[in-house]
């Protein structure tokens, strides 16, 4: 039986120095002529669809599904330019962790992210780590992050041709929303304090394991091994 690791992107795998927020501001300006610094909106751990709808509602604009898709099409157009800055980077230890997991016979890895699928592709291709992920769950599947676990598990099963038990799933993320998403399907949760939330905040959210970062590959792999071979 394989263990399934499901990774968040922003703040967990990569740090984009606000590229997504800048692209959203550009989208709102270009699609609707509205200037907004989005200081009123907490983006961390949310899905792009949820964020887009909040932005439209805040400005009393139509916020039905097609309107959200229209806004986010401008976001996707702006995203590559905003990513292309010297401070955007893959977080410490991530390339090593992804490479090591890819070599583990009893483990597979995918995505569970609030990004649109197209946005995830743009980001991971920019950072050169797209090849590690053959499947995942995205904002296209649901505006609500807690809904995404079953989509990712179903796609993992289709990709590998085997079932995955929820007790052998690990959600890895940097926000309490990632932890709650894992708890929604009774998965193991790894919190990584490389985003806007501290180790203590991730523990308080109920993360099963908390890392300051993933620079210590051996420590991370040791916790993965515990998930693969629980006591």
Both tokens assigned to 73: 């099409």
Q: Give pLDDT tens digits for 74-92.
A: 999 999 999 999 999 999 9
Residue-level pLDDT at 230: 85
In this structure, the chain runs to a length of: 231
Q: What's the burial of 65, exposed, middle or buried (CB within 10 Å: 0-12/13-18/19+)? A: exposed
Residue-level pLDDT at 30: 98
Other CB atoms within a 10 A radius of the CB of residue 79 amount to: 26
Decide: pTM greater than 0.85. Answer: yes
SS3 string of the chain? CCEEEEECCECCCEECCCHHHHHHHHHHHHHHCCCCCCCCCCCCCCCHHHHHHHHHHHCCCCCCHHHHHHHHHHHHHHHHHHHCCCCCEECCCHHHHHHHHHCCCCEEEEEECCCCHHHHHHHHHHHCCHHHCCCEECCCCCCCHHHHHHHHHHHHHHHHCCCCCHHHEEEEECCHHHHHHHHHCCCEEEEECCCCCCHHHHHHCCCCEEECCCCCHHHHHHHHHHHHCCC
Average pLDDT over residues 131-158: 97
Tell which residue, 184, 154, 157, has the closest CA to residue 171: 184
Q: Give pLDDT tens digits for 93-134.
A: 999 999 999 999 999 999 999 999 999 999 999 999 999 999
- Torsion angles phi and psi, residue 136, rounded to 5: 175, -175
Cβ contact 118:94 at 8 Å: no
Q: Give pLDDT tens digits for 156-198.
A: 999 999 999 988 999 999 999 999 999 999 999 999 999 999 9
Q: Give pLDDT tens digits for 35-66.
A: 999 999 999 999 999 999 999 999 999 999 99
Cβ contact 212:219 at 8 Å: no
Q: Is the pLDDT of residue 231 over 80?
A: no
């Amino acid at each position: 039986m394989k263990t399934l690791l499901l990774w968040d992107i922003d703040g967990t795998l990569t740090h984009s120095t606000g590229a997504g927020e800048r692209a959203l501001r550009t989208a709102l300006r270009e699609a609707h002529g509205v200037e907004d610094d989005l200081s009123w909106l907490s983006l961390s751990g949310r899905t792009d669809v949820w964020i887009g709808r909040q932005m439209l509602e805040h400005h009393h604009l139509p916020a039905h599904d097609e309107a959200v898709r229209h806004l986010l099409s401008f976001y996707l157009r702006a995203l590559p330019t905003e990513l292309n800055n010297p401070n955007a980077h893959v977080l410490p230890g991530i390339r090593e962790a992804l490479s090591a997991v890819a070599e583990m016979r009893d483990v597979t890895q995918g995505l569970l992210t609030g990004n649109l699928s197209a946005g995830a592709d743009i980001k991971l291709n920019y950072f050169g780590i797209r090849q590690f992920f053959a499947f995942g769950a995205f904002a296209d599947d649901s505006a609500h992050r807690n809904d995404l676990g079953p989509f990712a598990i179903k796609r993992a099963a289709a990709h590998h041709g085997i079932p995955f038990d929820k007790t052998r799933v690990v959600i890895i993320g940097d926000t309490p929303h990632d932890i709650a998403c894992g708890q929604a399907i009774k998965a193991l949760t790894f919190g990584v304090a490389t985003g806007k939330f501290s180790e203590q905040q991730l523990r308080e959210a109920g993360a099963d394991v908390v890392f300051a970062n993933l620079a210590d590959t051996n420590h991370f792999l040791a916790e993965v091994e515990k998930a693969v071979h629980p006591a």
